[in-house]
Amino acid sequence: MNRPLIALACLIVAGGTAGGALIIASPGGEEEAGVEQLQTSTPLATALLTPGPGVTLWRWMSVTLLIPDGSGIGATPDVIYLDDQGTQSRPVIKVGKADPENPGTFSIVMIDAEDGTVYRREILDQHRTEMELVLATLAVSEFDPASAPWPYNGDPLANAQREVWFGISIIRPVPATGIIVESSIGSFVRSGVATPRECEVADQALSVWNGRSKAFVWVDASTGALCKDVSHVDPVDFAAFERFLSDAKRCGKDIEC
């Protein structure tokens, strides 16, 4: 039996750098309808796709999958609604691939980020081989902070590229950490590590989140102070989020961008 599903109209496939996300509207393709449980990895997929050079491990909450670099397949967190009233929702990881020759055409699969249930599966014939290979690597596993890379443990990679958002230079955590960095538009008042007078005004900030914890970092519009808000960070993530935010640097003051 199919559950009613209201999906967001846009698919956002996360790119590698700020401002590099690909936004694709008007979903198409033949829908393989229904709700299904996550299948375990096939021997073929695990033999061909293993974490390492050329293959990236992606995590969102409790779901992981392997995506070959350059495949055009992307993953991003999202939310689906299971009823017409929008009162029942679930966090999902959205996996998709666009057809470069037909920008309005793409494949999409939406998977519950906590238990691996597949809520939506629309795969075009021309994408089926690549998409099925990636989907065969899907697994559900609890996140282990003790073995996760920076900012949970260790140091940023020596060759990691810094990115600039709203005048702030950061190193984006690798996808295996499940930490997403996004732009956030809104007002942040009397928050942060500096005195309230220094961190009152902002209309642009970076949000850092992993489905359980969320933090913000911004440059105060009036004083130029580097501010942060960690009031919504779970204790299990606190040290990692603090480590990430402490590495954020202001362009023109702390670092040349």
- Amino acid 117 reads T
Rounded Cα distance, 236 and 179, in Å? 13
Q: What's the pLDDT at 171?
A: 93
Q: For the chain (length 257 residues), average pLDDT per consecutive 10?
A: 35 33 33 46 57 91 95 94 85 92 88 95 93 94 93 84 90 94 69 58 85 92 87 95 94 88
- From residue 13, alpha-carbon distances to 162, 194, 217 in Å are 21, 35, 23
pTM of the model: 0.76
